[in-house]
Amino acid sequence: GEPHYYFVHARNCIYECDYCYLQGYFNSPDIVLYTNHNEIAQEITKTAEMHPDTTTWFHAGEFSDSLALTHISGELGFYFDLFRKLPTAKLELRTKSANIKELKNMTPNKNIIISYSLSPAEKIKEHELKTATYKQRLSCIKILSQLGHPIGIHLDPIIYSHDFENQYETLLNDLAKHVDINQLEYISIGVVRFTKDVFNQVKSNYPDSAIHHQSFITSFDGKVRYKRPVRMNIMKTVKKLCVD
């Protein structure tokens, strides 16, 4: 029920996740970093003021990793200052990066959440090319949490394998060793899915990827994904692991 907006600070990504929806999304693979931060801040402020009685969410990391290039772009301090002035708004910085150098210098904001996308170690090696490793991400989560930064976790996209339940049980146990799970802002769960155009681009860009051996169907809405019973079983199983 809370309003959510994308905060587009950049587009395209230095990483190469073979399932990434950015494939085919833009007409160019060039990385673009936006520098008109004052204009963006005005729009964020205006948008937050449109919803004075509820939390307004702004999500960074949908069109480019939110931390990967911050040592170059240098905008984090600007937005930390901005959101201190917007107590009813929240900013999510979604990432798969170990580049936390700039964040270490920031005074934590209770309304700025560093959210890590996590997959089992095997899946990161197989599908999330050039990203921070499983161990690096867990280490960053521990460091940032100890510094006082609010942490969120995205178990998304989950890619099926016969032992996925054991893989995610291991992941959650490892996560619990690095951070107090009860102190996490949230854990979200999502199963791998594509638009038809992106799936065709994935096949072209990564013809040897094991993802092409998955049992996908084209759903009624045009998305390429698992059959509904498979999706529901994955979601139910991982949700139960999170609760347990």
Q: Which two tokens stand for residue 12?
A: 């395209």
Q: Which of 86, 59, 83, 63 is nearest to 4 (CA)?
A: 59
CB atoms under 10 Å from CB of 50, counted, come to: 9
Those residues whose C-beta lies under 8 Å from the C-beta of residue 147, and which sit 6 or more positions away, are: 103, 104, 108
CB 158 within 8 A of CB 189: yes
Residue the block writes with tokens 């999170």: 242
Burial class (CB within 10 angstroms; exposed 0-12, middle 13-18, buried 19+) of 12:
middle
Mean pLDDT by 10 residues, the chain (244 residues): 92 94 84 95 96 95 95 95 96 98 96 98 97 98 98 98 97 97 95 93 93 93 95 97 92
Q: How many Å is the Cα radius of gyration of the chain?
A: 18
pLDDT attached to residue 95: 98
Q: Give the distance between the most distant pair of CA atoms in the chain.
A: 50
Long-range contacts formed by 35-38: CB under 8 A, 24+ apart: 37/75, 37/78, 37/79
pLDDT attached to residue 244: 85
Those residues whose C-beta lies under 8 Å from the C-beta of residue 131, and which sit 6 or more positions away, are: 15, 17, 96, 97, 124
Q: Which two tokens stand for residue 182?
A: 């009860």
Residue the block writes with tokens 């931060």: 37
Query: In whole angstroms, how far apart are CA 231 and each of 105, 116, 154, 217?
Result: 41, 22, 16, 12
The DSSP 8-state label assigned to residue 207 in this structure reads T
